[in-house]
Amino acid sequence: MKVLLVHNRYRTSAPSGEDIAVANERRMLEGQGIDVISFDRCNDDIDDSSWASKPALALNTIWSQRSRSELREVIRRVRPDIAHVHNTFSVLSPSIYGACRAERVPVVQTLHNFRLVCPSALFLRDGKPCEQCVEKSLLQSVRYRCYRGSRAATATLAAMLSLHRTLGTYARDIDRYIALTQFARDKMVMSGLPAARLVVKPNFLPDPPAAGRGGGGYVVYVGRLLDGKGTETLVKAWRGLPDVKLKIVGDGALRAGLEATVRAGHLNVEFTGSLQRPQVLEQIANADLLVMPSEWYEGFPMVIAESFGCGTPVLASRIGSLDELVDDGVNGLKFTPGDADALARGVRSLLADRASLHRMRAQAREYFDRHLTEENNFRQLHDIYRGVIEEYGRQSAVQPGQARQ
């Protein structure tokens, strides 16, 4: 099987878990003997240094004839069996889907976020979930300047989505969508994507660590310190947990304010900053539990896979995909998002019952072994590819004028 992997990487100054997931998937496919051809671009190549460059950038985001032509040339040269698209924003643009269709190559699209229905890609506004672009119209995103606080930049994305909906790009040119969780699938169906073409396949963790033993005497948070992540609620909860050590692993715009709160309240919290992956896994494996206090709809946080791989139970907000991934009393506990008192109670409840915590460690690793290994993920993805290729062959035999189902 020959797979054309299409991905628009994010800026190197803003590391993305999505880029890591795509790289992991490419290595997995190659390791299983799949012939992978990469067609990728990087947002580092964008010149937005002057106002004069912005109109051209906006037009390219909506429709890049250059990307479309270059991809057609690659397809003609390598003749892939299938194209797997991860991200088209913003150098590639959705014009590339039509290039695949014109060259009669079926397309699979992984939905790492909600970009196809939400200009901010996150269903997030002012640190809380927002679905007004689905409930009302894309004009709501422009009204609230949802992308980078810019009305012009948000309008560009809204125009991109509107144009390609009108052209039928998302309904016609993509043969299968992969959502990372059932929650994400349900949201995308509610937003108008065809349910028959949406399947669920999670992320996976390559080279998993051995299950840790915990006992490090601390609770850990791993992630960026940004709006929507719930870190302010997390730190607030520690006002009632003076005898419990919290380690915050990561960095971000909120760090200085969080550190000031910790200093002012003399809280039992340590900021480690960003760490390399082996160090992160060590921190998770030795922790008694990991906290995911997010207040927005996470996609499939790799830290959940890492925590379960380490056998570390997760205390998570009861929201979005986290509500699906964490099973109360089995591999962790859940609490009401934004409720610092409920978070603190969850920590105390877990730490007070060491026998249950030990049982949850085993069950967290068991969940990982059942659902999040590379071997399981390859089987799922390979089955998706084969199904799409076979279906596309049948559809190609339909007489001209007959609609695809």
Name the residue with tokens 């909120």. Answer: 254
Distance, CA of 147 to CA of 152 (rounded, Å): 9
Contacts 24+ apart (CB under 8 A), 350-359: 350/288, 350/289, 350/313, 350/315, 351/219, 351/244, 351/288, 351/289, 356/329, 357/214, 357/288, 357/289, 357/313
Find out whether 116 and 177 touch, Cβ atoms under 8 Å.
no
DSSP characters over 21-90: HHHHHHHHHHHTT-EEEEEEEEGGG---SSGGGHHHHHHHHH--HHHHHHHHHHHHHH--SEEEEEE-TT
| Residue 352 pLDDT greater than 70, yes or no | yes
Domains along the chain with CATH numbers: 2-122+159-204+375-396 (3.40.50.2000), 218-371 (3.40.50.2000)
The phi and psi torsions of 264 (rounded to 5 degrees) equal: -65, -35
Around Cβ 297, how many Cβ atoms within 10 Å? Answer: 24
pLDDT number for residue 401: 46
Distance, CA of 309 to CA of 290 (rounded, Å): 12
Could you tell me the pLDDT band of residue 405, with boundaries at 50, 70 and 90?
A: very low
pLDDT number for residue 398: 64
Mean pLDDT taken over the chain: 94
- Mean pLDDT across 148-162: 96
Around Cβ 326, how many Cβ atoms within 10 Å? Answer: 25
- Mean pLDDT across 134-147: 96
**pLDDT (tens digit, 9 = 90+) per residue, 362-391?**
999 999 999 999 999 999 999 999 999 999
| Residue 268 pLDDT greater than 60, yes or no | yes
Q: What angle do CA 349, 222, 150 make, to 5 degrees?
A: 120
**Nearest alpha carbon to residue 127 among 261, 327, 319, 273:** 319
Q: Structure tokens of 13?
A: 């100054």
The phi and psi torsions of 51 (rounded to 5 degrees) equal: -65, -30
Distance, CA of 90 to CA of 96 (rounded, Å): 12
Could you tell me the pLDDT band of residue 143, with boundaries at 50, 70 and 90?
A: very high
pLDDT number for residue 47: 67
Distance, CA of 142 to CA of 53 (rounded, Å): 21
- Mean pLDDT across 144-173: 96
pLDDT number for residue 291: 98
Find out whether 116 and 91 touch, Cβ atoms under 8 Å.
no
Distance, CA of 315 to CA of 308 (rounded, Å): 12
Q: Kindly compute the dihedral angle of the four CA atoms of residues 113, 116, 120, 124, in this order, to the nearest 10 degrees.
A: -60
Distance, CA of 115 to CA of 16 (rounded, Å): 15
Strands 128-129 and 124-125: antiparallel
Distance, CA of 139 to CA of 155 (rounded, Å): 8
Q: Structure tokens of 117?
A: 């229905």
Which residues have C-beta within 8 Å of that of residue 248, sequence separation ≥ 6?
220, 221, 225, 231, 234, 258, 269, 270, 271, 272
**Nearest alpha carbon to residue 159 among 142, 176, 145:** 142
Find out whether 181 and 201 touch, Cβ atoms under 8 Å.
no
**pLDDT (tens digit, 9 = 90+) per residue, 35-77?**
999 999 999 888 665 565 788 899 999 999 999 999 999 999 9
- Mean pLDDT across 78-95: 97
Q: Counting beta carbons within 10 angstroms of the beta carbon of residue 370, is it exposed (0 to 12), middle (13 to 18) or buried (19 or more)? A: exposed
Distance, CA of 241 to CA of 234 (rounded, Å): 11
Which residues have C-beta within 8 Å of that of residue 168, sequence separation ≥ 6?
none
- Mean pLDDT across 143-150: 95
Q: Kindly compute the dihedral angle of the four CA atoms of residues 65, 70, 73, 79, in this order, to the nearest 10 degrees.
A: -110
**pLDDT (tens digit, 9 = 90+) per residue, 309-338?**
999 999 999 999 999 999 999 999 999 999
Q: Structure tokens of 293?
A: 């206090």
Q: Tell whether pTM > 0.85.
A: yes
Calculate Rg over the CA atoms of the chain: 22
